[in-house]
A and B are shown apart, each in its own frame.
Chain A
Amino acid sequence: MKLKTLMMGAVATAAMAPAAFAERGSDGQVNIIMWQAPSTMNMYLSGGTKDVIAASMVLEPLARFTPEGEVVAWLAAEVPSVENGGISEDLRSVTWKLKPGVKWSDGTALTSADVVFTADYCMSPEGGCAQLAKFEGVESVEAVDDLTVRVTFTTPRPDPFSAFVSGQAPIIQKAQFENCIGEAAPTCTEENFNPIGTGPFRVTEFRTNDVITFEANPEYRDPDKPAFATLVMKGGGDPASAARSVLETGEFDYAWNTQLAPDVLQGMEAKGMGKVSAAFGSLIERLEVNMTDPSSSLPEGERSTLKHPHPILSDANVRKALSMAIDRQLLTEIGYGSAGKPTCNLIPAPEAWASDNTECLTQDIEGAKALLDQAGWVPGADGIREKDGKRLSLLYQTSVNAVRQDFQALIKQWWQEIGVETELKVIDASVYFGGDPGSPDTFQRFYADIEMLANFFEGGNPEPYLAQRTCNKAPGPDSQWQGENINRFCDEGYDKMIAELSGIVDPAERGEMGQRLNDMLTKDSHSIIPLVYRGTASAHSNTLGGVQLNAWDTELWNVADWYRVKE
């Protein structure tokens, strides 16, 4: 921007006072490529990351997360806290004050009624709102005056930043969506594709799963922003061609989620047209160890349920040995390059919650062998260990994905070295993550001994994420195989600590408790074997300035600050 300013200034001095900033719309057009094409601009109906990212340029929340994971006021005047009276003493209500003078792109003023309406829209039972979890535990949302909203919770909330916070739960305009509530929500095609927002851009044309064109919002609250007059978001293709169009041909300025093999990306970056940067949130690639017996000899409805503990993996020593045999450093280098870090933790951030657990980072094949010997698993004739007639043979499944298949092959090799036989299985991602209760191949069903996947939590509060591992959340036939406790970890002590955690208010104390819970799942029980702390990687051109990736909120959170770098 500085060079740009200088040049503009030189021109402007002749006529008037030098401009302090670039004017709105002075930098022409910016092109973004998303290899998964957005299919709607209403993230309340979709929940897909691609749709949330597209919509985040138009719709804005009251507050959002910075790349460091801290809450920052966005449409709100300030972040509510107990000190400024925004959060009540009993932690049961939050009062948000809106920034005065914010306008929708149609020129009308943003008021508390819009905020209240947003809550009603998402909490309407027939609507099928994808972000309902953000409004969980909300008792009521009421307008105190035109610019003040009070959110009341059913129980005290030490961390109330879920509803109206982050790009997933922004404010929609009441006047526009009034007739789209509940069952009518999906039929409002025009509204869902062209939402009126307060953000830096507004939609000019929406083509489903193809191209969205935006223009600068004339009512945007900062008169100098955005620097770009128009923005084109093209969808479709694959990560490789998206990265190529930014790094090699320069047809696009920004490519979302270019998760490719590190050597491929390096080859593309060598052209010098752009670079790939990564941001780290809470995404952890991990192995889930099945604590229950998935054997096909059990009757249907009892496989992989708490009724039958796993015959081999119930032995804590086996789980520990499996973890010890893995070289996480090598996996990270091969699979993710600079967009990954080896880790032993399930909760890698925020800082207060991240345990100092680094023991697993060095591979220890000999140690693993010794541990198995001690535990009575002795090598048989073919080198595979046995104990009480049980062979140490495991089925290891994951989704179809080049990096994951590399990981499978490497890990199989290491386990072979310590005398564990591994059978590999790959499942199409749409089936594996699909959650179809009728399919035996979903990750929730877990008809395997080990499975690999990545998961994360949103916002700065890992509590709900840790609470997924309580006994009652194990998937089973009674719950249609839905449930978040994937590996069926069940420990009364853990459940008790989770219950305690929700009552703790002091952030330091909460973090400490969180670290203990994290350790129980990882280094104490090895029921979860974390592998890589993954970042989200995106490519951007060298001529695009102001890009700041954000893994805690949507990637385009600061698109208003983007500008064209002039040579």
Chain B
Amino acid sequence: MLTFALRRLLLAIPTLLFISLVIFLLLEASPGDPLGDVPLTVPPEVKARMREALGLGQAWYIRYVLWLKQFFWVEPLYWFDQAFGTDFSQGMQRVISFQSRQPVFDIIAERLPQTLTVVGMSYLAGILIAIPIGILSAYRQYSWFDQLGTFVSMVGFSLPTFFTGVVFIIVFGIRLQWFPSIYDTTHRVTDWDSFVFQVRQMAMPVAVLALYNAAQISRFMRASMLDNLRQDYVRTARAKGLSERVVVLKHVLRNSLIPVVTVIALGLPVVFGGALITEQVFKVNGIGQLLILAIHANDIPMVLTLTFIFAILIVGFTLIADLAYGILDPRIRYD
């Protein structure tokens, strides 16, 4: 298991480097310009000067190597300095956003908490809803509950969040005025009332995303349960005279959870990556919204850094999912 993990980690390094190069080249080749937002009243000569001040005058390979240096050398040094009060990174240029001229990692740090609370909460809610639904639908296959569950998950699957989000805003935000339609990112939870407000403003984005997540996971759960319910060991367990409760929740559920855990682990990078569209709809200042804004503004360092972090997360969680599979399922051995 350890050698397997090590081998996979070593293999991840060239993979990630290749990914970063591909992302960089894609951004380089894509049309658009970081100065696209500058009004037409700014004359071309001034724009050319601004372009140079952003470092766009150099060849692409120099800029790529410079970014690699900033990402893998300057940033870790800077964090080390922050942690231990040293000054190794003094005078070195960190990865800087084109839009705000602020270090990219500072912006990410500012926005990560919102994404983690909103998207993380919706993922958790999604799992908590999905698993019981999955179990019950499989156990009572083709019952009215199963039909209803299938219907709801089909709705969750097929309605995009940019649609459900806006519908929620119009119904609950504008007509009924139950929840605020715009997320107040400066809100701080200090007492009971402010906590209630936080819950109210999180309700709609979390509900929209939870519906989507639950739809996916409950389908997996149901399918996996159905597979196991037909197995011989289930009949044996029943023949032994075990109660239905023990048979389903102990024997079947445990075995059925194995593939579901993998699916959940593979979906975890999304929690960090944020929900691009939902965050934009509810104006949650998370990572997803940050990426959309950066893409619109052709903020190359920001897009590159964010997508690269997503790549690291995806590679990392794939590895974790594989390892978890090995631990949970004794039939699978990697050595």
Contacts and interface: CB of A to CB of B under 8 A. Distances in A.
Interface stretch (A152-160, A426-434, A494-502): A426-434
B177 A249 contact: yes
A247 to B, nearest CB: 10
Contacts of B93: 187
A189 B173 contact: no
A131 B54 CA distance: 16
B33 interface: yes
Contacts of A189: 100-103, 106
A133 B43 contact: yes
B27 to A, nearest CB: 12
Given A39-B100, A189-B102, A430-B296, A436 B39 contact: no
A248 B181 CA distance: 11
Select the residue from A127, A234, A252, A457 with max chain B CB neighbours within 10 A: A234
B185 A207 contact: yes
Interface string B171-212: 001100100111001100000000000000000000000000
Contacts of A453: 40
A244 interface: yes
Contacts of A33: 182
Contact of A482 (B32, B37, B38, B47): B47
Interface string A38-52: 011000011111000
Interface string A87-114: 0000000000000000000000000000
A241 interface: yes
Contacts of B36: 429-431, 433-435
Nearest to B290: A209
Nearest to A207: B110
Select the residue from A207, A210, A435 with max chain B CB neighbours within 10 A: A210
Contact of B174 (A132, A248, A458, A480): A248
Interface residues of A, number: 64
Contacts of B330: none
B182 A430 contact: no
A186 B40 contact: no
Nearest to A190: B102
B87 interface: no
B97 interface: yes
Contacts of B185: 207, 210-211, 234
A430 B101 contact: no
B31 interface: yes
Contact of A211 (B47, B50, B53, B285): B285
Interface in A413-446: 428-431, 433-436, 439, 441
Given A125-B49, A187-B93, A434-B35, 11 more contacts: A130-B42, A183-B53, A208-B100, A209-B99, A209-B293, A237-B182, A244-B174, A249-B181, A435-B36, A439-B33, A484-B44
Interface of B: 31-33, 35-54, 93, 96-97, 99-103, 106-107, 110-111, 169, 173-174, 177, 180-182, 185-186, 280-281, 283, 285, 289-290, 293, 296-298
10 contacts: A48-B39, A129-B49, A132-B46, A183-B53, A186-B54, A186-B101, A187-B93, A237-B280, A251-B180, A251-B181
